Amino acid sequence: MIRIQNLAKSYGPKVALSNLDLTVEAGTFLGVLGRNGAGKTTLIRALTGQLRPTSGTIQVLGLDLAARPLELRRRMGVMPEPTALLEDLTGAQYLQFTGQLRGLPFAEIQRRARELGDLLETDLDRPEPIAAYSFGMKKKVAFASAILHGPELLFLDEPFEGLDPVSADTLRSLLASLHAAGTTLVMTSHLLGMAERLCTRFLIIDQGGKVAEGTPGEMLQGTETLEDLFLRLMGGRKTGALSWI
Amino acid sequence: MAGSFLLLGLAAGSGANALDPALAGRWIAGLALGLGVLGGLWDGTYTLDIAPLRPFLPGPWDLTLAELILGLTTGFKAYVGTLTLAFTLGLGWRHPGWSLRLLPLLLLGGLGWVCLERLVGALGRAVNRWFKYVALFVGLGLLLSWVFRQAGLDSVPTLRWALPALPFLQRSGAFMHGPASWEMLFVLSITGTLLLGLLTGALVGWDLTRGTEVPSSPPRPWRFQRPWAGIAVQQWRQLWSSKIGVIRLFFPLLALMWMKSPALLDLRSGSTWMVFSLGYFQCALSGAPLFNLFGFDRGGVRSFWTLPVEDGSWLAGKLVGIWAYQACFTLLMGLVLAFLAPVPPALVLPACLFTQALFLVHAGAGAPLAIQLASPLSARAWLPGSLHAARLVRIPAVLGPLAGLVLLWFWASRHGLPWLLASQGLAVAIGLGMLVHGFGQAKATLEAHREELTLLLEGHPPETVFPEGGPLGF
């Protein structure tokens, strides 16, 4: 489904990704974990064609990403950042617009949008433009837009960030059902508990390089949780006290 | 900036003998009233970067004070403040005592300006958007006519032509008749500013307790088959939903005011002036969006990178959307010229061709240069801190074609209508050629520099995105 060889990405002197190799089989739910600035978002952007790699090759759905970007964008879903929505449109308008650009019929988009709105407990027909939505609402619109066309491969960058616990749980069950239906998912997240419940494979990166990769069975030792593993790989817990407290 | 400061100071000094306290008071009050009302109408939400301070400002009066102080320090006010300071110092050069008297009045005027913005802004939010913009237009006319009359500019021969264009002139002399003393000016200014401050404080308190307004009916989605058509509609709606997009459409009305003098409307020099006015307003109307294709929806443009849309479709859609918006302006101008102004109907067709040629030339020149941070004609680009060599080089690209087309018009109008039609037809053809060439360039630029564009739109400074100057002129 995804094959990366020797992927590197630099911004001037700053190295964001270095010599990354990765293979993701169809039907996998890959969790990409790492600290802030580890290169997770850069990896997602490179995999979705938003960034050109400095070196290396990326094959997605059996096609060369650089050579066939349009076909791939039709078949994959990418959850845009909440700040990268067309904010002068309403939620319903945004879904209609992006859905039609993906080739879906108008009536079908309406039906799917209504279903998604009900499930995510979001009134997508509200009259305000997206600019007036809360961060969580924007997240839901971005997610709805990414799955509206039923993609074979779905990329999600921090999908749970800013969602209330009920919405986060709804999203979790939705992602689980997408996975059960055969969709391949790649997700970055700082919520390790949520990632542990959902993902079938993990990639842990730090400073642009791969630190560990595998299934939970391969990576976790004994009763170790994903959080324990992550902290162990990142150099242990940091504790300390503030001088004025 | 230093030059304009010095020049204004010298001009004020040389004209100081003609100034009396009444005139100084009228100028300051007029500026504060006019700019405050216009500022409020323009920015109905009164958006200051005060949100981070809100938790530390418990009551409406603390918030009002903070808003007043912050309001006085915005770029435009700092710019106007600097110029009025130059003016005051210039006056002080001839009459040393005046500076000390005028400076507190200027401060009070500034505070009144900020309060009025807040008050009129709140009022503007409560009324229909279109009504608000009509009020803005009328307010602009009132302010201009008042300033012209009160400052005695109607005695300046070179400005006399403009006065018939200001319809409210005859009614504008109602403010502060008769002589005024410095004491009276101080009492009026302090009382007025205090009153405005109290009203603003009450309004801020009310703002803090009320809920958010919700539009009554949701706008409808639109259907389309081809991506460029959908993107064109999106661009069109985006332009109309923006404040600047609506207000620009009132520019033809200002042009109409200028055309009230029959002397300006013969086929020769008069029509050149008319077409220059028309083109000048169109520069702002379509020139700015065309040179700012990406910056207009800085955030949203990045969602296109994830959608299956070809760069060509995306660019074409944006250009068609802007053309449709500009066509409204052309249509409105055509109707105004044909039915309302005493213009020979034969001029309407060449004038329309002129607007199309200008659009095409701007689209051809603007699209490849569109990856930039600020529109070359936006007010912000002219603020002292924003002036940047890379932006300045784009200004000739906007104004140059206008000058060229006006000169062509001027030349052709001296040879009669057939020449005028032929020259404008030729200009459209050249413009079309430029657009075809520019479109290809823009597409190639977008494909080659999408990544850099993404970084720029995310707010990375151009110096870090293009450390060696880059191919885009940064």
Q: Exposure of B52 by Cβ count < 10 A (0-12 exposed, 13-18 middle, 19+ buried)?
A: exposed
Q: Is A97's CB within 8 Å of B302's CB?
A: no
Q: How far is B406 from chain A (nearest CA, A)?
A: 36
Q: How far is A197 from chain B (nearest CA, A)?
A: 28
pLDDT of A124-149, one tens digit each? 888 888 888 888 899 999 999 999 99
pLDDT tens digits, A72-86: 999 999 987 777 888
Question: Does residue A241 sit within a domain?
Answer: no
**Tens of pLDDT along chain A (245 residues)?**
899 999 999 877 788 899 899 999 999 999 999 999 899 999 999 999 888 899 999 999 999 888 888 899 999 999 877 778 888 889 999 999 999 999 999 999 999 999 999 988 888 888 888 888 888 899 999 999 999 999 999 999 999 988 889 989 999 999 999 999 999 999 999 999 999 999 999 999 999 999 999 999 899 888 889 999 999 998 877 777 888 98
Contact A84 B216 (CB under 8 A): no
Q: Does A90 touch chain B (CB under 8 A)?
A: yes
Report CA dihedral (B196, B199, B200, B203) to the nearest 10 degrees.
Answer: -160
Q: Is residue A141 part of a domain?
A: yes
The CATH number for A216's domain is 3.40.50.300
Nearest chain A residue to B214, by CA:
A128
Out of B221, B308, B467, name the one closest to residue A102 (CB).
B308
User: Measuring CA to CA, which residue among A121, A125, A199 is closest to residue A166?
Assistant: A121
Number of domains in chain A: 1
Mark yes or no for CB contact B224/A100 under 8 Å.
yes
Any domain includes A64: yes
Apex B73 CA angle, B107 and B238, nearest 5: 125
What's the domain range around A121?
2-233
Mean pLDDT estimate for chain B: 70
